[in-house]
Structure 1
């Protein structure tokens, strides 16, 4: 039997705790140490029977037999901790965004290249089985040539969510970097790079120093276009977490939040509803349009991502989202802020 890999967890907040609980059920690995200065980190370490350290430096100094690391700290700590791990030869799974700035992200990617140690970026939705089906469907021409996409993400976050200062202020706060970055990553994965975007919105509903509501128009390298609406101040049934139930803290609605439109049909996600006209090709608006659901597998994106990372650590596979890929998603999201500030379209 393969020996379980030993991982360190840096950051035991919301997503860090989810990583910890998923790892508990994954036989290929075990989290053996946690670094987090908050009391909650110490409580989790005690609950799971692992070592606790107040700082990343202390953990790396005392834990000499690690195989890899999961970084789920605030964004501005990703680069320093990631580089320290890479310099010790530890592959890292770093939560999105890969870092908080392009400069620090590039430094992390450069360290990975220089030391030949892989980075996997935690855009875990790429591991949802519906995305595998959607990718194949869009790539094989089932809906023809994709020409447009619509994306919706809207929820009202609870007021105490913003007790953490970094969630209210630049450079890490706001739904673009916290939430919409997942959607931008999926759209890049499914349709290719975004080459131009225009953003409007801002602090519409709250007095925070970051946006709460956004409207985007995007153009892809393929020529396809898209619209994206996002708000963390407005309740709705639309959003990936709502549609999939992937986040145990958010009651699901089962509603679609993406609609891909092509020259021969359309595809709605995450329910994988494929729409085609009835009749011989080329069918048109005179023909009845019908929906056919596509089948996918059990929804376990975080678990699938961790299993994949174990393969990366063992050298069996390359990261599905490597550092350079994660950096391009960050570059695209930061262009949203640039467009908001300048009130004009931004070319990427």
Structure 2
């Protein structure tokens, strides 16, 4: 097989649907919903968000759209079979890659209803690395978003960014909040009948972050973990992506070699993550969905804001004061941040559960509105 063909096949497999992209819908699905997102790529957050869409849209066949630009000629005919276009979860808006995917889909299915449950928006003030060109995307996204029945977003920062560009949006929440516990151990947390004792710590491989210094950030977190363990706390390393699992496995080995016992990382499945979360009193998280998936279980979240999307989510559940930007980190500051979060956790669980319930209610109502808009295709 030529190298170019192998590369194309590899990219297709990464979407989770190889050449079977958009197969005939199952008998129990009324219609096909084409979902723009990033599921099937070893990221639990993206997988949780599409699972939440499927949960909230029963009877519809919600299928990930292939993202690889090279698949255009292979999928255009199949894309015409879709009945509904769904801009999925994740920080998609003002991202050029997802714009190109959405444009291709809208051209192929011009008459399909357009719906969105709770999308994230890139922050115009974040110009690190590949996000340096976000501002140039505004004019390209505006006509796309005006085609949707209503623009629903993850959090207040996302809504504010769109408002500044003349697009009205309503905050519903991160779709993954609607996903129920995926392991028996996590059910007690979600209802408030149990609480963990460990400090869950998530950090990993990123493409862009505030400050841009990955090595310094990693060293700071590892040193803070050592200090927390020395102070008598149990630490569990939490993985939400396959890349981060490999990274955290190396971190765990380094910690143990230095005499710092840590638990984890968990296997990269939703059930394994929920089982690990069940033992946590708080979660200190860099990755957005380490925060989201913990918060949905009522675990107080302490965000290491590597990109504005982490603050966006924390604000959406009333935890905007529990955010520390990666560019502002040092070991003492991080240890104090976690220690304060642990002390406050017993009184913050109930307000967090109430805030999450408000978000899940909003997501449920949004899904009802989406189904009404989608009914013309049924």
Establish whether TM, by shorter chain, passes 0.5. Answer: no
Relative to the length of structure 1, the TM-score reads: 0.39
Instruction: Answer 1 or 2: which has greater helix percent.
Output: 2
Relative to the length of structure 2, the TM-score reads: 0.37
Instruction: Answer 1 or 2: which has greater strand percent.
Output: 1
